[in-house]
Structure 1
Amino acid sequence: MVAAFGISLTIKAAVGVSSFNSMNVAISELTKIEVGTITTLVNLLFLIACFFIEKNKKIPEYLFMIVSLVCFGSVINLFLYHLLFKVQVGSYFLSIIVFIVGTIIAGYGTGRSLYYGILKFPIEKCCILLVEKYNKSFSYYRYGVDILSILISLSISLVFKLPIYIREGTILSFILLTFVINKTKNNESIIVKKLWVTNGEKM
């Protein structure tokens, strides 16, 4: 829900969307299928890729991820088309702020889910599997997904004469999102550490 809320904020900001979501929004605009549903379907493709890459597969884990992806897409649709439907961002400056906040929230939610191992996102799981197999960095593969998403989004927009969703927000997200995911995936957050130290001192 945290990640889905962050994604919804970036779309509502209307200054472009993240690399991956630019592809999903473009496909959504072309097919008239809701963005959350497209997000689920594309993530399922990455999940299939994970299934073929991973050697020691745990079927219950994959079944849980399928259910989680359906819920994830549904929550995006809930925020975007219902709870935030009437929300309008009044100024360009505020739109940039909303986008940055949404990107950080989305990245934090994704990264912490990876850290605790409660819910694995297919794209990040796929990148981690590729890291283990080919010994390159997580950022290398995650940025690769971003670049591919941008190319697909631009192709759809240009071929079918749709709005171009690659804007300044995309550049901000390209720089910020993977960085936040990578940091929160590998380390305890600063806030959690401070609370832990404070509580420890009190005890």
Structure 2
Amino acid sequence: MKQLLKSIIYYLVSAIGISLTIKANVGVSSFNSLNVSVANLFSIQIGTVTTLLNVSFLLACIILDKERKFSNYLLMLVAVMSFGEVINVVYYHLFSQFTINSYIVNLLVFLLGVFIAGFGTGQVLRLSLLKFPIESFCQLLTEKTSHKFSTYRYGVDIVCVSLSLILSLSFSLPVVVREGTIISLFLLSGVINWSKNLSFTPNIAKI
């Protein structure tokens, strides 16, 4: 239960980091670029769109997973719903009164957000109790085909970026595929891998 609580906390830490990257307004990660564009198009909250798209991937996982454990998917559903709600609360309420007028500060806020999101995500992966729907979806496809996990994961990113650009250009929405998207592409995975190797549990054998 303690490990599960930690996983949920780190899951929500990742959501706070994503909220910071959106607030920075220098572009967002591939998946979030689609979330932001859809939210702008339909005038709904970004966290709500994030939840809906994550639930879509979760449902796809349930369909693909022949050895599905519904208790695990129920837990994942609660996690992704909480994830989206944290984004809404942090971005639309906690950060709503803050304005940034300096590009350098915007960039620093974005980098801080990437670090926080990557740290939270890495810890969730290290604990291996909760999963992210997109990664689970890509892993299931990998197990059923001859293609690599990275092929599917990058494929999802390409589709998200492409759809985001199409929506932005077709409906005259703000373009959120920007420099931050490129920075996130190279930096986020590195922070996640670094965080996955961090453990805050003492090694009893060495004490």
- TM class, shorter-length: 0.7 to 0.9
SS of the equivalent of 1:39 reads helix
CA shift, 1:51, in A, is 0.9
CA distance in 2, matches of 1:49, 1:184: 29
Q: Which residue, 88, 92, 111 being the options, matches 1:100? A: 111
Q: Which residue, 151, 155, 176 being the options, matches 1:140? A: 151
CA distance in 2, matches of 1:92, 1:169: 12
- 1:173 paired with 2:184, answer yes
CA distance in 1, matches of 2:115, 2:143: 26
CA shift, 1:158, in A, is 1.1
* Structure 2: 5+ residue stretches without partners: 1-11
The letter for the 1-side match of 2:197 is: E
Per the alignment, residue 160 of structure 1 pairs with 171
Percent identity between the aligned chains? 48
Per the alignment, residue 78 of structure 1 pairs with 89
1:120-131 mapped onto 2 (5 Å cutoff): 120-131=131-142
SS of the equivalent of 1:68 reads helix
CA distance in 2, matches of 1:138, 1:180: 19
Per the alignment, residue 5 of structure 2 pairs with none
CA distance in 2, matches of 1:46, 1:72: 15
* TM-score, structure 1 normalization: 0.87
Per the alignment, residue 51 of structure 2 pairs with 40
CA distance in 2, matches of 1:107, 1:60: 26
The alignment's C-alpha RMSD in Å is 2.1
Number of residues of Structure 1 aligned to a counterpart in Structure 2: 196
CA shift, 1:196, in A, is 4.4
Per the alignment, residue 6 of structure 1 pairs with 17
Query: For residues 184 and 59 of structure 1, do their structure 2 counterparts lie closer, same or farther at Cα, with a shift above 3 Å needed?
Result: farther
Q: Which residue, 191, 197, 207 being the options, matches 1:188? A: 197
Give a deviation string over 1:2-59, Cα, whole Å, max 9, x none: 1110000000111011111110000000111100000000001111111112121001
